[in-house]
Structure 1
């Protein structure tokens, strides 16, 4: 019996019929006959992407996609690193669709559970990137807007409130107008030096509104509130109009999620503060902040925190009125003074001056480095095989150089420096132009003694 996956043999018929029915040879036939000729076309199934090769199983049995360092590097290179004026004190209201449309299972396990999981991740990342900002969460179900968590700067409060809503089934119709009116009330007392933003995760194709939503949109524009929408279904005309009118005609703030990973990326992109438009710029003004120190209760005494009225032995005392709060950043309940740590302010400042992308190092310049400057991981040595099979779009020598200090780094340190540190280790440790043996920077004296160095603090 003839092989079922062999070449097609035409017993009868003309040459034209044979040409119409000719198929590509099988793997076994190709392996015996050698490589295909130069003019022969490859079959479509030969270039198929094997998605199962980039999947792995979590501890709970679910499947997740593996993000390689190369893929994350390519995605970051597509972003613009131009320094822009941004608002580092943000006031954001997250609106979640909890209507019947979120019960669909086109996103596994369903839209509601996936959105809740990504919302918890968004809350953590939002306060990691914007530690001195505020966040509130609102839900849409049964034709009304429900308040999930009030405007607060404590991520633990939001995560605790979200836990109670995870197990509730989505039901009813969403009301975009009611949600926008509640967002206006939550952002009404936001100070002028902070941004007013609304992020809506919308899964339905309709909105059950009690009145004219265009009047609400006009009120949102008057209150200088920016609205962004992440759609899970098809594009909705009223959402596109809402985003365009509240963002100065820019419709790029309305995006449709294509799959699970795309939905996560769209949500996490909002953690970066938006650029300030020229018409929104205010006159320079001073903002009073307090930087309290952590204190412990003396002896067997127990104090109460003014933010939660809970007993505690440690906390932070307001530098103005002396009220005690248990966590920072926070707003003093007694005098409304913003209380933060210096590290919070430093983490918010990196958005204004993003770290420039590092350039690829060719083999011609790779000889002056043998290991990564940050983690001391050995670099590969030049060989003809590595030079011929270098990955497309990445450094052929596996080295990435900072254009300021000129040091070479590996791809892992490249990602860590741009996504976590937001500073170049080589530039931070650079002492060029400083006299040998001594470097005075901000009241510190650095004394070098050969390869070792010791730092002394002036008293």
Structure 2
């Protein structure tokens, strides 16, 4: 009797199946390797389930932690006890303090803390100007126990990202000085007009700060100047940073992973509530026409030659892009869509009501075990559509379609 020889096609198919199975195993092992260090795999990490509440450590179930982090995806407008939407400061002045010290070399975030945070800050800068076109932003680097001004107050997200990218390429170096950074931010924000916000956002990856003096004296000056400090720690919690945030009415958070960092920073794109010290003042804005010329002329924002520019209707100086603040006369230069995006924060859509009944999302037609119901049209939306409506559309699409048919 002859020996059975399987056909070549069968052998090739079996080899492909084994190869695919091996790939799945390798991918699973790689994910496990990145999830935690090898020496941590036999532990439950129960310390990660401890949270600080009013100075007391409390144990929190893992499910509660997941629910808490998921809440950042639903950054919808808040209402007061009477159901009214709070007034917001839509004209913002923000200083971002970015830690570029040796502590940002750690590789617990991939590829390291520095580049992971840089990607999240780029998304934050773009989101700030998308949500608030009349935002003025400045960047400060913390390294070598000094604070370095990366960019002046301005309204060009591309320019801020480009300048920050150049600094990141130099690499992390030395130690961070929180006080030096706060003093520089204080000098930038203290003279801002009372109808604008004064905010500092700190991205900190060190476990210590090297300060030349008493940082509590700097804290007192921040409070007197009505400056709000918000901070996100990539390293473990640092008490002095948390204390400064609490004293100035800001938010302090400790990030758990890269996605959590992006969600925490995205929460700062929504304009903050109106503060009691702020004064409502009518602000003059201009709608500059864009002009093209055959001969180049200097722009006032960069002092470079350009053939295409926006002409200020008040002083007739030229700027490269809008929205911006005219360097000559200080007039806010915007377009009608910019004003529309700002107006959405003053009259946002109503909060949707969480509903646990099974239904299909009226927008994307996905099946849901629970969702969000519009209080006006009573249609159901999934989590993603609810977030998109409140952050981007600013209108219920069903209610808007009904209004358009009338």
TM-score, normalised relative to structure 1: 0.67
Shift of residue 197, structure 1, vs aligned partner:
0.5
Match of 2:251 among 253, 257, 279: 253
Shift of residue 91, structure 1, vs aligned partner:
0.5
- Matching residue of 2:13: none
Q: How does 1:324-403 map to 2 (within 5 A)?
A: 324-359=318-353, 360=355, 362=357, 372=362, 391=369, 394-395=370-371, 401-403=373-375
Contact 2:76 / 2:390 at 8 angstroms: preserved in 1?
Answer: no
Contact 1:96 / 1:200 at 8 angstroms: preserved in 2?
Answer: yes
Q: Deviations over 1:12-60 (max 9, x none)?
A: xxxxxxxxxxxxxxxxxxxxxxxxxxxxxxxxxxxxx99969x9xxxxx
What CA distance in whole angstroms lies between the structure 2 residues aligned with 1:174 and 1:357?
Answer: 41
Match of 2:395 among 419, 423, 431: 423
Contact 2:76 / 2:387 at 8 angstroms: preserved in 1?
Answer: no
Question: Residues 317 and 78 of structure 1: is their aligned pair in 2 closer, same or farther, counting only changes over 3 Å?
Answer: closer
- Matching residue of 1:455: none
Question: Residues 217 and 361 of structure 1: is their aligned pair in 2 closer, same or farther, counting only changes over 3 Å?
Answer: closer
- Matching residue of 1:295: 291
Partner SS state of residue 313, structure 1: strand
- Matching residue of 2:231: 229
Contact 1:73 / 1:415 at 8 angstroms: preserved in 2?
Answer: no
Contact 1:401 / 1:408 at 8 angstroms: preserved in 2?
Answer: yes
What CA distance in whole angstroms lies between the structure 1 residues aligned with 2:97 and 2:266?
Answer: 15
What CA distance in whole angstroms lies between the structure 1 residues aligned with 2:378 and 2:223?
Answer: 47
What CA distance in whole angstroms lies between the structure 2 residues aligned with 1:183 and 1:143?
Answer: 15
- Output the aligned Cα RMSD: 3.1
Match of 2:188 among 179, 186, 189: 186
Partner SS state of residue 351, structure 1: helix
Match of 1:106 among 105, 108, 111: 108
Contact 1:303 / 1:313 at 8 angstroms: preserved in 2?
Answer: yes
What CA distance in whole angstroms lies between the structure 1 residues aligned with 2:215 and 2:69?
Answer: 40
What CA distance in whole angstroms lies between the structure 2 residues aligned with 1:413 and 1:78?
Answer: 12
Question: Residues 197 and 302 of structure 1: is their aligned pair in 2 closer, same or farther, counting only changes over 3 Å?
Answer: same
What CA distance in whole angstroms lies between the structure 2 residues aligned with 1:349 and 1:50?
Answer: 49
What CA distance in whole angstroms lies between the structure 1 residues aligned with 2:218 and 2:171?
Answer: 29
Partner SS state of residue 141, structure 2: strand
Shift of residue 348, structure 1, vs aligned partner:
1.8
What CA distance in whole angstroms lies between the structure 2 residues aligned with 1:353 and 1:52?
Answer: 44
Q: How does 1:9-158 map to 2 (within 5 A)?
A: 76=73, 81-82=78-79, 83-158=85-160
